[in-house]
Structure 1
Amino acid sequence: MDDSNLTAALQANPSEWDLVGPTAEADIRRAIARYGDAAVKAAVKNLTKPKRGRKQERDWPELREYIEKDAREWLAGGDPFKTRTNYSIAQDFAAKNPGHGAVSTHKRIERKLAKKPYDRRWFVLVTAMHLSRDSLPHAQHIRALEELAQLNASAGIWQEALELAQSDIADYQAKTGGPPQASLSMKEIQSGARNALLAAVRPLNRQGGLFGFLPPLSALSGQAE
């Protein structure tokens, strides 16, 4: 594009010739006008091609058996971080999965298990939180959330999850008239609160509407027909 055409383009569409934007297409159009199709295509291909280097190992899925074992021990009241060190786990993993070399694999795994913020302790607690939700006493689930909230205090997400779980327990108590049995899981507490609400609503519906303001559901059903 010569100077006269460039000037005309600038005058016709000034927003598309800003230094940046307003869209990616506008930026590419400007680049093509300045450098040509071939140069832009070559630059895009070079900038978007995968980086060279050794492919990153996906170790955490293979470490799942160790993490779950730790989580179950932690939920049972034990201390897996004393029972098994990062070194011993890395040693066992490297023996079973040597990869490019047992020594280098051992070092890589040991570093990964200790790397903050998503280290072995974080994965163990998250796994314990998931394992405890559906089938273990709710106190175990709360304990896992408390540990996660303390471990990742700056994130805030686990504190919110903890407060939500505590709210579910309070909701259950308000709707059933008493605290949940110690053996109930969080899933059972949430289900129990819903069932208690439904049980309270059904008599009101049969007696002439929800809280006396609405007609019974059966009447509404008949009107719909």
Structure 2
Amino acid sequence: MAGQTEHILNAVLEDMDAGRLNPGDVLEKTQLMAAHGVSRTPVREALIQLETAGLIKRMPRKGAMLFKPTLEELLAIIEVHAKLEGQAAGLAARRMSPLQAQELERAVQSCEAHARDKGDSDPIGYYRLNLQFHGAVAVGAGNPILLELVKNNARKLMAYYRARYRYPETIASSAQEHREIATLILDGKCDEAEAAMAAHVSFDQVTAMDLLAALGGEETGAG
């Protein structure tokens, strides 16, 4: 039973990471049972874990809906995420191994090549490369607890970062910032790397409102 629960959990997380599931989408218990050939119990247990992580909101007798933040919630999550990603970059500047540094460099070069060769034409492709960059930094921090916190918090924001890369020149700017952050990390500049990464993953209230609107979010009374 535990194996079935983990299978369903990982399948839902993979769909979120790939953009097949987005904020506000509904997870139907019966559909999950049929898709994975399992009974109601492992589906229920997987949904409980997803709810505990803040990734879904369960609905009576219907299943669950993927977490869809209000403007205030989105800004609060971004604030926390900036701290987590910044801390990861700062730690990576102190702890990253030579092999991890090579992985980081490859990720940065892939982002730069995409920005140079494709410009704004493939935002989803760039987003996947962006995940590799941030993953390399988080792994390089050498703290598995922080790594899990970064990954879990990022899943609440993935759809909005994907939407952001549709904006003109955003990909080029992101790739340039990746190079700057990587240089600070590889030079061992902890404080500078932390500050640069925190700024890189943040965006202001106007941008947050635009992204919520792009994904059908509801605006609230903040500001």
> Same fold per TM (> 0.5)?
no
TM-score between both structures, scaled by the size of structure 2: 0.25
Structure possessing the higher radius of gyration over alpha carbons: 1
For normalisation by structure 1, the TM-score amounts to 0.24
> 1 or 2 for the larger relative contact order (CA 8 Å, sep ≥6)?
2
Normalized per residue, which structure has more strand? 2
